[in-house]
């Protein structure tokens, strides 16, 4: 199946069947998410794979998205809520280690990160971090489609409740978006047969 076919095949599933996603496929999707591009490469977000079924039930209670509880798997994308000197130092140290160079060689890069990130308000940095998490979400959606695993991106959830139940605040994180994974229950999903609604290319794209 080529990429475009996969993207046409996918839709934001509302009703999942009971079939579980194989662990190898789940790992492949997580690998792809990990390979996402991010601003300055900093990946200022973390992914939580919620396995605990009781917790899934509690997280889904009161939400209009039954997928939170019913899908095979649930990924929570949580953005870093405070970028500080330590976060930058860790990233520089890690980059130096991976590339086998001295951290001092990254001094200019570090300076520019400090200038840009530490000069902004915590909320501005959180917004930036959340944007990076959405890019990772997009990668996850595409990776799932390529594997013929169904997926639903979701903003319809109680962020504060997720932060509390997953202990995100203590980790300096805030939940921003979810990705449910599983297999569509085609017979019971009203949306399964809908045609995709997308803008005509002429409206979406301007060639200058």
Ligand X SMILES: Cc1cc2nc3c(=O)[nH]c(=O)nc-3n(C[C@H](O)[C@H](O)[C@H](O)COP(=O)(O)O)c2cc1C
Q: Which residues bind ligand X (CB under 6 A)?
A: 11-12, 14, 65, 152-156, 177, 196
CB 65 to ligand X: min, Å = 5
Nearer to ligand X, 36 or 95 (CB): 36
Can you say whether residue 28 is alpha, beta or left, with left for phi > 0 and alpha for psi between -120 and 50 degrees? alpha
Alpha-carbon distance of 96 to 102, in angstroms, equals 6
CB 87 to ligand X: min, Å = 25
CB 46 to ligand X: min, Å = 18
Nearer to ligand X, 72 or 95 (CB): 72
With a CB cutoff of 8 Å and minimum separation 6, the contacts of 173 are: 45, 46, 78, 79, 80, 81, 163
Nearer to ligand X, 156 or 167 (CB): 156
Nearer to ligand X, 76 or 117 (CB): 76
Nearer to ligand X, 123 or 155 (CB): 155
Exposed / middle / buried, residue 41 (Cβ in 10 Å: 0-12, 13-18, 19+): exposed
CB 176 to ligand X: min, Å = 9
Write down how long the chain is: 208
Residue nearest to ligand X (CB): 156
CB 108 to ligand X: min, Å = 35
Alpha-carbon distance of 43 to 73, in angstroms, equals 22
């Amino acid at each position: 199946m080529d990429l475009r076919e996969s993207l046409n095949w996918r839709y934001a599933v509302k009703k999942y069947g009971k079939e579980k996603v194989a662990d190898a496929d789940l790992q492949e999707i997580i690998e792809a998410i990990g390979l996402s591009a991010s601003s300055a490469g900093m990946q200022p977000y973390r992914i939580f794979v919620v396995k605990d079924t009781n917790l899934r039930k509690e997280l889904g209670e009161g939400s209009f998205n039954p997928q939170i509880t019913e899908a095979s798997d649930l990924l929570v994308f949580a953005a870093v809520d405070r970028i500080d000197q330590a976060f930058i130092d860790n990233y520089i140290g890690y980059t130096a280690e991976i590339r086998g160079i001295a951290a001092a060689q990254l001094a200019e890069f570090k300076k520019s990160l400090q200038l840009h990130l530490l000069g902004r308000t915590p909320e501005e940095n959180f917004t930036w971090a959340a944007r990076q998490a959405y890019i990772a979400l997009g990668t996850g959606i595409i990776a799932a489609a390529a594997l013929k695993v169904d997926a639903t991106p979701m903003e319809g959830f109680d962020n504060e409740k997720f932060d509390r139940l997953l202990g995100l605040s203590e980790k300096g994180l805030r939940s921003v978006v979810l990705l449910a994974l599983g297999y569509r229950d085609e017979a019971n999903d009203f949306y399964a047969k809908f045609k995709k609604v997308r803008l005509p290319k002429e409206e979406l794209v301007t060639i200058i």
